[in-house]
Structure formats: structure tokens, C-alpha cells
Amino acid sequence: MRISVPTPMGFGTAPLGNMYRNIPTEEALDTVEAAWQQGIRYFDAAPMYGAGLAEIRLGQALAQHPRDAYALSTKVGRLILDEVEDTTQRDLGEKGGLFKYGLPNKIVYDYTADGTLRAIEASLKRLQTDRLDIVWIHDPARDFHGEAWREVFDVAMNGAAKALTRLREEGVIKAWGLGVNRVEPCEMALEQSDPDGFLIAGRYTLLDHADALRTLMPASAARGLGIVVGGPYNSGILAGGAHYEYQQATPDILARVEALRQVCSEYEVDIRAAALQFSLAHPAVAAVIPGASQPSRIAENLALAAAVIPAGFWQELRKRGLIAQDAPLPQGG
């Protein structure tokens, strides 16, 4: 697998950028340390998360640990400027207001080769490290760029992708791919370039996986690529929250989640355990990176991933059409 990380359970740092709420620095640092103490050795960040705040906090927390002991990924496609802006008015496509509690630094898009190198240099400083293992091209997709997304994607393929390919060939990074919330740009990247894998958020989950299963997952497995699953709880809706796709869940989504919960209740299965184990079951998946902003969540996630789930539960989900018939099931399912 070309995307290789030390642990199948990783740590997604979007919450450290004050996603949804203003998280005290000490709580953020304690959460990263809790992940470390529980054995997690893969951490993923992005400049967008709080306009650099998540990278700063992650770098501060990991500075006390040996760099060779963990894998680190971050993203390119956005630059953080010294200039400030109104955090409530940022253009985050369909994700408006997501990081309104983050730093006020202005965020601009730049998918060129030069912008990619500048983004990496800035991330290294914020992360207090000398190297990155994996670099994802962040969000060259419709949900952030609307009808112009294909033009943005072309810039990313001719700029960021080529720059990252050179860095990989030179041994500066180990791997690169796209970090997106949509399947289509990943499928296009497979045709136009040579990525090592993808970070797809919310698209290979218990609730939403049909599109990814159709082409992306089997193609990735066949080519030996690795998929990192972000947002296995679909922004919280599968973990007792009210958000789906970073916004308030619609009645249709709530009804689908309730149908899943009904089967979970019948089989006495925690829906969070089902969500994590479903995402991990596909052979193309290298890691799952649920986010966390409280130390206690780390141990909970690891326990949920290891919880025993009866085979009949998965078969019942298939019987009721709640998961795809060809979706790989966890061991024993």
C-alpha cells in the first residue's frame, strides 16, 4: 500500500482549529498527548483548520516526541497570510462558518507549484518539524469551488500535483494525494496523475459509501493505493451530534441515521463502533482519522474500534438496504 502509516487509527486535527467552538489551548494539547499515550502515531492537519491554529497546536504537542516515531500529513492549496479578515465571512464554500473561532489570518487559495512549496514551508514552521510524510492537495472540488471546480482542479493537477511528484521522487516526502470531501476529483486524479492515495472525508462511512464503492475503492485497491478515511462519523451525526457535512443535518439524513440506530439498538451495538469498524474493513483503507477535542474521546474511539460486533448485525444492515451489498464487512461479518 503506497499510503502507509504506523497505526490504522489516526488523529484528525480539525477540532484543534476551534471547529464549532473555542477550545482552550491546554485542552487541545492534552487531547494530542492523550492520543500519543494511547498509541496513536498518525496525525493529520491542514492550514485551513483555524487558519493555522491546528498546525500550531499539533506542532507544540508533538515537539516533545521523537519525529521518527510518528507519521505526519498536512495539506496544500491554501496559504495563510499575515493580513486578517472577519472569520465569520470566510469563503469556505458549503462549509461556511466552520472555523469562525479560529485565528483571524486571511486564507487564500493557491494550487500552483509555487504556492504548494510556500504552503509546505509555512506548515513546517507551524508544525515545528523538518519534514512531512504525506501531503494532500486540499479541496479542489465542487463543494468549495462551485461550478468553477474543474478549472481549479486543472490548476492543481498542473501545479501542486507536479510539484509534489517531484518532491516524492527526490525523497522529500513519502507520498501525496488529494484530501477532499468528494469522490469525483479522486477518480479524475487517477486518470491524470500518479497519486499514492486519497484522504476522503465522509465518503466512505456507514452512512455514505455507495459512490466511493462504485469505482474509487476498487480502483485504489487494485493499484495498491491507500485511502485515509476522514470524518467516519460524518461530521458528528453518527456520534450523537447534529451535524452532517459540517452543517445541520436534514430530515432525510436524520431518518437514515435513525434507521441505522434501530438496528444498533436491536443488536446492542454502539453506532460509533459500527461506523469506525465499517470504514476500517475495506482493504484499500490505510487508516481512519476521527477528530477529537477532548482527551477522553481518544480512549473511547480506540475501544469502539475494538468492540465485538455480531456478524448478524452486518447481515441485517445489508438485508434492510442500509449498507451496500458489495461493501466489505468487518471480520466476522
pLDDT in tens, 7-53: 999 999 999 999 989 999 999 999 999 999 999 999 999 999 999 99
> Is residue 202 within 8 Å of 275, Cβ to Cβ?
no
With H, G, I as helix, E, B as strand and everything else as coil, classify residue 77.
Answer: coil
DSSP E strand stretches across the chain: 11-12, 42-44, 71-76, 78-84, 105-109, 134-138, 175-180, 197-201, 226-230, 243-244, 247-248, 285-289
Please choose, from the candidates 185, 211, 203, 68, the residue with its C-alpha nearest in 3D space to the C-alpha of residue 130.
68
Q: pLDDT, tens digit, for every residue of 55-108?
A: 999 999 999 999 999 999 999 999 999 999 999 888 888 888 889 999 999 999
Q: How far is CA 195 from the centre of its chain?
A: 16
- pLDDT higher than 70, residue 265: yes
Percent of the chain with pLDDT over 70: 99
Q: pLDDT, tens digit, for every residue of 158-214?
A: 999 999 999 999 999 999 999 999 999 999 999 999 999 999 999 999 999 999 999
Residue 283 confidence (pLDDT): 97
Q: pLDDT, tens digit, for every residue of 202-254?
A: 999 999 999 999 999 999 999 999 999 999 999 899 999 888 988 889 999 99
**Residue of 20, 49, 70, 246 marked catalytic:** 49
**Residue of 20, 42, 44, 70 marked catalytic:** 44
Which pairing describes strands 285-289 and 226-230: parallel, antiparallel, or unpaired? parallel
Residue 97 confidence (pLDDT): 84
**Residue of 20, 42, 70, 75 marked catalytic:** 75
pLDDT band at residue 333 using 50, 70 and 90 as cut-offs: low
Backbone CA torsion sign across 12, 13, 19, 24: positive
> Is residue 159 within 8 Å of 223, Cβ to Cβ?
no
With a threshold of 0.95, does the pTM exceed it? yes
246 is catalytic: no
100 is catalytic: no
75 is catalytic: yes
